[in-house]
Amino acid sequence: MKNNSYDDIGLGKYSWSYVIKWLVVVMIIYGLGGWLLVSRPFAFYTVRGSALNYSRIFFLHGLTVGFAGITGLMVSHSFHLNQTIKKLIFYLTIGCVLIGVTGGAINRSMEHKITLWYQILSMFCLDIILLSLVIGFLIVKDRAFKRTKAYWIGLLASASALIAGLFGDLVGFILDFGNWPGICGWYAHQIGYTLAEWQDALLRTHSDMMVVSVLSLLIAIANYRFGSYLIGKARAVRNIGEWCLIIGIILTLIIYLVAGLGGSGVQIPHIFTEKGFFEPRGQSVAGIDLGDFVIGTFTFIGALLITGASSFGQHDANHQLSRNEQITARGIFTAMICIYLCVGGLGFLEEYRADLYNSDVPTTPRGDFGFIFRLLHVDVCLLLFPAIMLIMLLAEHSLKEKDNRIVQILLRVGIFVTFIGALVFMVVNYHTFGPGTGILAVGILILLIGMIYYLVKDPTKKR
């Protein structure tokens, strides 16, 4: 099931995977340096209730924009998109990563316009990557492929990520220019918001949509690479998972489009509240956000069914998974289990008992745990773990069987230990130097060793 056209583009004599390997090196160095010097462990904020720190936000965007760009490049190759599309995305990914990390290293506030707009160029690169993906899927000529659910998952996830990126651009425009030239303020007033309130609604929409969309793109790659030739019960399970994922992407897109553009009267409601099954946002003390419920019920469960069937299901005799492919698929399945248990399990608990965990209200008795959860479920489960899934896919593509097996085992163990550390941090002891910190440190160290092993053992160079 190897894709023999994976290395048909590159930079001079170097294959795209060789170039991407060194971009990953740059991102790891940047991430470790920024983690220690700028962001510090899991801290958008200094303490609960303090203001946002723009240095940390820009640092994080330097990582996430590059990560999303490399994911887009993997999608373009895995789905055999148009050659011109792949080349365009490849060059944009280089710009996306290099401008993103250098911009994130020097950008410290909204006041310094040169550094601010320099880093924004990386976000524009990502916008064009996502737009290119959508166009690439739309111009696919293989009619049989266009009738598959795998095709629609790739297209819908790409479109969702593009819309999320454009929402982020709009948030940045409002942050930088305010109400100039007056259109944004006028629209905000028409839908019942002040400009600041509409900006907050757009920001929440952008962040949630982008995270889920990029995760869906990774699952789309895994589905197409490892699940295309399932048979019997495994195929039925994969089909159910594909439908769940498609429904989840569509419903999430509708919910967040309405939330971002629809106005104060149509905000995402809460369900399972203390007042009843369904209550408007702000009208109940506790309850599960409808958007989060859809993501957990459809998107995450769909991803689990797809990756589980691909990992353990029976394949057509002529298209059996190699050992490399099998161990990679199972690593991605492990990552999805940890994401689901943390975000879908503890996340639903935290929202359902917001009377105890709401970190936005100073009087909630376990608000500090809720605050730590907000940081860790984003930083660890929705950013770090998907990034490790991307590394797993890159390693499977380029490493020899023995080396890939070592990398996949290291990454799988690292994910599990990091997940346990996050649980301890969120549930048992949230203090900076408590037991959760030690377990987290061990897990992240194992992940780092796995990534370094992949980079050292990767033999790719020439096309």
Task: Provide the pLDDT for residue 4.
Answer: 43
Task: Provide the pLDDT for residue 7.
Answer: 55
Distance in angstroms between the alpha carbons of the first and the last residue of the chain: 20
Radius of gyration for the alpha carbons in the chain, expressed in angstroms and rounded: 21
263 — alpha (psi -120 to 50), left (phi > 0) or beta?
left
Q: What is the C-alpha to C-alpha distance for residues 162 and 167, in angstroms, rounded to an integer?
A: 9
Other Cβ atoms less than 10 A from the Cβ of 365: the count is: 9
Task: Provide the pLDDT for residue 246.
Answer: 97
Q: What are phi and psi of 251, to 5 degrees?
A: -65, -40
* Unique residue bearing structure tokens 């980079």: 455
Secondary structure (DSSP) of 336-348 = HHHHIIIIIIIHH
Residues whose CB falls within 8 Å of the CB of residue 11, separated by 6 or more in sequence, listed in order: 19, 90, 94
Cα-based angle 100, 105, 111 (whole degrees, multiple of 5): 95
Task: Provide the pLDDT for residue 44.
Answer: 43
Q: What is the C-alpha to C-alpha distance for residues 380 and 436, in angstroms, rounded to an integer?
A: 13
Cα-based angle 348, 328, 144 (whole degrees, multiple of 5): 90
- Is there a contact between 5 and 80 (Cβ–Cβ < 8 Å)? yes
Tell me, what DSSP letter sits at residue 264?
G
Task: Provide the pLDDT for residue 3.
Answer: 44
Task: Provide the pLDDT for residue 51.
Answer: 63
Q: Is 140 helix (H, G, I), strand (E, B) or coil?
A: coil
Other Cβ atoms less than 10 A from the Cβ of 25: the count is: 13
Mean pLDDT for each consecutive 10-residue tract of the chain (463 residues)? 56 86 91 68 51 76 92 94 94 95 84 84 95 96 91 96 94 86 91 89 88 94 93 96 97 91 80 70 71 90 96 92 92 93 78 74 76 74 90 91 94 93 76 76 91 88 61
In sequence order, which ranges of 227-300 are alpha helices (DSSP H)?
232-261, 290-294
Residues whose CB falls within 8 Å of the CB of residue 259, separated by 6 or more in sequence, listed in order: 201, 204, 205, 266, 267, 268, 291
Q: What is the C-alpha to C-alpha distance for residues 100 and 210, in angstroms, rounded to an integer?
A: 17
pTM: 0.90
Task: Provide the pLDDT for residue 98.
Answer: 95
Beta-bridge partner residues of 11:
14
Q: What is the C-alpha to C-alpha distance for residues 186 and 428, in angstroms, rounded to an integer?
A: 47
Say which amino acid occupies 299: T
Other Cβ atoms less than 10 A from the Cβ of 308: the count is: 21
Task: Provide the pLDDT for residue 12.
Answer: 80
Q: Output b/e per residue, 244-275; b: 16+ Cβ within 10 A.
A: bbbebbebbbebbeebbbbbeeebbbbbbbee
Q: What is the C-alpha to C-alpha distance for residues 366 and 362, in angstroms, rounded to an integer?
A: 10
Is the peptide bond between 181 and the residue preceding it cis, with omega within 30 degrees of 0? yes
Cα-based angle 68, 411, 2 (whole degrees, multiple of 5): 70
Q: What is the C-alpha to C-alpha distance for residues 404 and 396, in angstroms, rounded to an integer?
A: 6
Instruction: Write out pLDDT tens, residues 87-141.
Output: 999 999 999 999 999 998 888 777 778 888 898 999 999 999 999 999 999 999 9
Task: Provide the pLDDT for residue 368.
Answer: 74
Task: Provide the pLDDT for residue 273.
Answer: 72
Task: Provide the pLDDT for residue 216.
Answer: 96
- Is there a contact between 96 and 66 (Cβ–Cβ < 8 Å)? yes
Residues whose CB falls within 8 Å of the CB of residue 363, separated by 6 or more in sequence, listed in order: none
Instruction: Write out pLDDT tens, residues 165-185.
Output: 999 999 888 988 888 888 999
Task: Provide the pLDDT for residue 269.
Answer: 80
